[in-house]
């Protein structure tokens, strides 16, 4: 049986807290794109985007150590 896909803060793709890296892994998108979207959202909305990031930093659990990094082809 397949386990459901889970959102985690990334341990390997992190600049501050791993939130954008985790979202990138979850959506299978480069984490740089997610970071740029957060940056754009921060410029457009200001404080709400920063508050959303901080909330995600505390709400989204960190990636377990047992998760193996994806194999590079």
The neighbour count for residue 49, using CB atoms within 10 Å, is 17
pTM over 0.85, yes/no: no
pLDDT per residue as tens, the chain (73 positions):
677 888 888 888 888 888 989 999 999 999 899 999 999 999 999 889 889 989 999 999 888 887 566 666 6
| Domain edges within the chain | 19-59
Q: Six-digit token pair at 49? A: 């985007």
Residues 6+ apart with CB under 8 A from 22: 7, 8, 9, 10, 13, 60, 63
Other beta carbons within 10 Å of 67: 13
Q: What is the distance in angstroms between the CA of the first residue and the CA of the last residue of the chain?
A: 26
């Amino acid at each position: 049986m397949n386990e459901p896909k889970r959102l985690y803060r990334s341990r390997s793709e992190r600049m501050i807290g791993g939130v954008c890296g985790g979202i990138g892994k979850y959506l299978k998108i480069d984490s740089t794109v997610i970071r740029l979207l957060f940056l754009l959202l921060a410029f457009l909305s200001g404080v709400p985007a920063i508050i959303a990031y901080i909330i995600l930093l505390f709400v989204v659990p960190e990636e377990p150590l047992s998760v193996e990094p994806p194999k590079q082809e």
